[in-house]
Amino acid sequence: MLNCQKATKLLSESLDRPLPLYQRMLLRMHVWMCRFCSRFEKQLLFMRQIFRHYEKQLSKDHPSPDSASLSPEARARIKKVLQEEESSSG
Partner 1 sequence: MVSEQNVLEPETRVDGHGDFLYRYALSRVRDSGAAEDLVQETFLAALKSRENFTGQSSERTWLVGILKHKIIDYFRKVSRERPSSDMEAGEDFTERFFDKKGMWKSDTAPSEWQMDPAAVMEQKELAKTLEDCMAKLPARLSHAFQLVEMDEIKTDEVCKVLNITATNLWVMLYRARMSLKRCLETNWFHKSSEKEK
Q: Are 1 and 7 in contact (CB under 8 A)?
A: no
The answer to whether 7 touches 37, Cβ cutoff 8 Å, is: yes
70 forms part of the interface with partner 1 (CB under 8 A): yes
- Which positions from 31 to 50 touch partner 1 by CB under 8 A, shown as an x/- string? -----xx-xx-xxx-xxxxx
Closest-CA residue to 5 (of 32, 34, 45, 25)? 34
Mark 6-25 with x for binding to partner 1 (rule: CB under 8 A) and - for no binding. Answer: x-xx--xx-xxx--------
Q: Are 34 and 7 in contact (CB under 8 A)?
A: yes
The residues binding partner 1 (CB under 8 A) are 3-6, 8-9, 12-13, 15-17, 36-37, 39-40, 42-44, 46-55, 57-59, 61-64, 67-71, 74-75, 77-79, 81-83, 85-87, 89-90
